[in-house]
Amino acid sequence: MHRVVFNRFPGGVSRCLTMSYDDGVPEDIRLIEIFNKNGIKSTFFLNSINLDRDGFMPSEEIKNIYKGHEIACHMMTHPRPTTIPGTSKLVETYEDRKILERACGYPVRGLSYPFGNYDDETVEVIKSVGIEYARTTVSTRSFDLPKDFLRWHPTCRHREDLAELVEPFLAPGDDLRLFYVWGHSYEFSRSDNWNIIEDFCRRVGGRDDVWYATNIEVVDYINATKALRISIDLDTFYNPSAISVWLTVDGMTLEIPAGKTVKI
């Protein structure tokens, strides 16, 4: 029998870096320049009520400002979800998604919980209006894939010993590693420490052995691997999704193209 292991991201690599930043503030522009310079992608969670307000992003420009990255929800008015009724949670998420989609021009499918605050009711409400993943503020200090995308715990906040995690992330190994960093871009200005993210991006960016992805790209890829159909003999693979999937068979990397069947 063949040995099949799901230990590859797109391109056949075993490392993935994804970032996310909250609130949609002007400092995002400088942060995006740093990301783009190093080939890194990020998700940006915005509160739609703040669009066009002083100290936040202009609604007519966010499509271009965040081009190549992902715009997602942060609830409309940044409430503490566990302190408001279910109906309010519904409105906060629905309206945020609707306004952001009109501004960015594509379906908005993710959310970060304001203040990292959520409960089971919140999870069910956001799921009911089409949110497919939601980031918490619980740092795992690990590179494991999330067990539940609607309770997605990141690896760390950027101010939490970020540099110390680079070496173990990039260390040799065949295991799947997902490095998820989050924060607020205004923190770099307030603390005058832009060098932290600049140094980090120089160290982990621009590498052939790392897949750089937005949050939703990670979600879509993992879901595509789960949708793969495999024969009982582990020698025939059908990929019904629109995304190519990589895995290893007997230690060899194999690509299963979107919509194709591969027999070994």
234 burial type by CB count under 10 A (0-12 exposed, 13-18 middle, 19+ buried):
middle
Q: Classify domain 14-222 at the CATH class level.
A: alpha beta
pLDDT at 196: 96
pLDDT per position as a tens digit, 211-262? 999 999 999 999 999 999 999 999 999 999 999 999 999 999 999 999 999 9
Tell me: pLDDT of 183 over 90: yes
The amino acid occupying position 4 is V
pLDDT per position as a tens digit, 49-107? 999 999 999 999 999 999 999 999 999 999 999 999 999 999 999 999 999 999 999 99
Percent of the chain with pLDDT over 70: 100
Residue range 11-34: mean pLDDT, rounded: 98
Alpha-helix runs per DSSP H in the chain: 27-37, 62-65, 86-104, 120-128, 166-170, 186-191, 194-204, 215-227
Token couple for 115: 């203040």
Tell me: pLDDT of 1 over 90: no
* Domain range summary for the chain, segments of one domain joined by +: 14-222
41 vs 200: CA distance, rounded Å: 13
Whole-angstrom CA distances from 111 to 65, 108, 133, 163, 227 are 19, 9, 6, 26, 23
Residue 161 binned pLDDT confidence (cut-offs 50, 70, 90): confident
- Residue 124 — left, alpha, or beta (φ > 0 → left; ψ -120 to 50 → alpha)? alpha
User: Which of 114, 102, 40 minimizes the C-alpha distance to 77?
Assistant: 114
Token couple for 204: 């982990």
Rounded mean pLDDT of the chain? 97
